[in-house]
Every structure is written in C-alpha cells, then in structure tokens.
Amino acid sequence: MRLSRGWPGDIALAVVLFHQAVAERLGLGPTDHKCLDLLRERGKLTGSQLAAITGLTTGAITGVVARLEQAGYVRRESDPHDGRKQILLPALRQSPIQGVIEPLRRDVAASLEDFDARQHAAIAEFLTRSTDLIYRHTGLLRAQTLYGADAREAHDQSSSRKQEMKMQA
C-alpha cells in the first residue's frame, strides 16, 4: 500500500518546521525545546539520562539545562540517593508550550471528527507503530554511528527473522 503525498517525508518535515516555530515563539532553540519536551513527558531526568536519550554530549546538555533554567522552564534538585547528581524537573505546572500548540490540537481534533471509532482505532494503532519504528530506527542509526556496519547487519538479520515468522504464521 502506498500512502499519499510522500509519507513519511511530508509529515516529518511539517512536524520539524512546526516545532522550530514553537521553539522560536518561546524564545528557545529547537534542541532546547525538544529537551524540555522530554522533561515534560518523562517528569524528571538527570542530565546524563537526557544526554543518553538525545544523543547529545553531557557538555551540550549542560548548556541546554542552563538556558532552560535561566528562561524559567527547568529547575534542578539534588538527587536524594546521590548528592553528586542533580534531577532536572519542569519548573512550571503548565508549560507555555501548551498554549502555543493548542490551536493545532484543536484543528487536529476537528479533522478527526470525520472518522468513526473503528477508523480512530486504526489511526491510533498506525501512529503508535510508526512512533515505535521511529524510535527503533533512531537507536539503530546511533548504533551504526558508534559501532559501524555490525549494527546494520544485526538489524537486517532481525528483520529477515520477523519476515520469516510472518510468512510461517
């Protein structure tokens, strides 16, 4: 099945450009904005965890956190189990990001009104699977960058095994 208009490229580009505009509106760079999104989504992280998730160096994360803290978006707390570590938390109960993206959320909700419950379930399943695949391929790309072709070969073997299992089922 072929999806319309160059999926996934069109939507991926639109999302990147939208988040760039959101970051600009909030006075942030795109990396700072996405790190803030991760903190909002996960609740609290250490700088090392944030670095591991994003693929940024711990030095880059130090700069991101300093900028977010200075802008009032993030606060730091000492880790109760390890005084050397700091826990990063969103500083605001309601992020201003919500107000910036709310018009898009309303428009998306309105566009979904034309679909029935079964179609909503299919759309949700597709988006969940696509998101999982994107995270998986992000990890694969990082592994290939760090470890070379061995990571690609492992992926190809895994994909071949999955295809064989589907054919046998």
Task: Look at residue 3 in the predicted model and tell me its pLDDT.
Answer: 57
Q: Residue 147's pLDDT band (boundaries 50, 70, 90)? A: confident
Q: Which residues pair with 89 in a beta bridge?
A: 75
The answer to whether 50 and 35 are in contact (CB under 8 A) is yes
In this structure, of 5-14, 60-69, 70-79, 111-120, the range with the lowest mean pLDDT score is: 5-14
Residue 143 structural domain: 115-169
Number of domains the chain is built from:
2
Instruction: Identify whether residues 87 and 123 lie together within a single domain.
Output: no
Residue 84: give its domain's CATH number: 1.10.10.10
Task: Look at residue 36 in the predicted model and tell me its pLDDT.
Answer: 93
Q: 10 Å Cβ neighbour count for 101?
A: 16
State pTM to two decimals. Answer: 0.72
**Mind listing the pLDDT tens digit for each residue in 75-89?**
999 988 888 889 999
Instruction: Identify whether residues 6 and 84 lie together within a single domain.
Output: yes
- Give yes or no for residue 51 having a pLDDT over 90: yes
Q: Residue 69's pLDDT band (boundaries 50, 70, 90)? A: very high
**Region 111-130 average pLDDT:** 95
Instruction: Identify whether residues 123 and 70 lie together within a single domain.
Output: no
Instruction: Identify whether residues 124 and 90 lie together within a single domain.
Output: no
Question: DSSP of 114-155, one letter per residue?
Answer: TS-HHHHHHHHHHHHHHHHHHHHHHHHHHHHHHHTHHHHHHH
Q: Which helix (H) or strand (E) holds 92?
A: none
Task: Look at residue 158 in the predicted model and tell me its pLDDT.
Answer: 57
Instruction: Identify whether residues 4 and 66 lie together within a single domain.
Output: yes
